[in-house]
Amino acid sequence: RLAGRREYPSQMAPAADGVGRDRGWLNSTETTRPGDKTDELSRGVFLLRKAPAPRRFTARKSFKPVVPDETVEGMERRHEAYVSCWRAADAHVSRVLADANADAFRRLEAFVVDRFDERAAMRAANGGETPQHLAQQIPAGLVLAGGVNSDDHEETFTKLTRHLRSKGCHAALLRSRDLKARGAGANSAFDADGVLAPAVARAMSLAANGGGGGGGGG
């Protein structure tokens, strides 16, 4: 691809007092080759070469012989054994983590379902409409996630969201980086007493009553 040539004032204005291009500030960027004194800024045509294709690693290239007489076929079989063992170990780790979180996930699922059933019963007793005091409340469950790595927490809450959705619950994962300013977007929805603002309460009431396709789950 070629970029267009751009004219600069130094090229269009004649040199003052007979000063040539070999004097003054113009010679600060000139080339050092004899007979080729041109302003580097005037070189507006250049070539952009295509980037090289990324290298593809294969077992033959990435695996090296562990013994002097190991054949290529031996390295390939060793690579296949490595992949098989790694997949088995990764699956085992995933099962261990799932078992470790299973009880907490079930308790949170029961909390969400029970709170939703209570709200549904109160809505039915109120003629199909959510009572105002109920619409201004958000049942909150607390999750104490161990560890100091935020990446581990990210995976845990992602799995929790997936678990709740698989049980028929509506779930949304809100991160601090999703807000324009940390705490600003969340705090603006509540007043000094921790009660939802009227506009937010009305929106949640519509969702609880099925408006906008938001009904059905906790």
**pLDDT mean over 2-10:** 48
Is 208 part of any domain?
Answer: yes
| Average pLDDT in the chain | 69
Task: Please check whether residue 194 lies inside any domain of the structure.
Answer: yes
Quick check: is 32 in a domain? yes
42 lies in the same domain as 119: no
The pLDDT tens digits of the residues spanning 96-107 come to: 887 888 888 889
User: What pLDDT band is residue 205 in, cutting at 50, 70 and 90?
Assistant: low
Residues 95 and 166 in one domain: yes
Q: Flag whether pLDDT at 201 surpasses 70.
A: no
Q: Which of 12, 29, 51 is the last residue of a domain?
A: 51
pLDDT digits (tens, 9 = 90+) for 54-99: 766 554 556 677 778 888 888 888 889 999 999 999 999 888 887 8
CA distances from 71 to 60, 64, 76, 79, 110 (A): 10, 10, 9, 13, 58
Joined tokens for residue 198: 């009227």
Domain match, 159 and 181 both: yes
Q: In terms of C-beta density within 10 A (0-12 exposed, 13-18 middle, 19 or more buried), how is residue 52 classed?
A: exposed
- Domain co-membership, 77 together with 113: yes
User: What pLDDT digit, counting tens, does each position of 144-165 carry?
Assistant: 776 666 666 777 888 888 888 9
Burial 202-215 (b: 16+ CB within 10 A, else e): ebbbebbeeeeeee
Is 28 in the same domain as 105?
Answer: no
Intra-chain end-to-end CA distance of the chain, in Å: 56
- Range of the structural domain that residue 140 is part of: 61-213
* 91 shares its domain with 152: yes
**What global pTM score does this model have?**
0.42
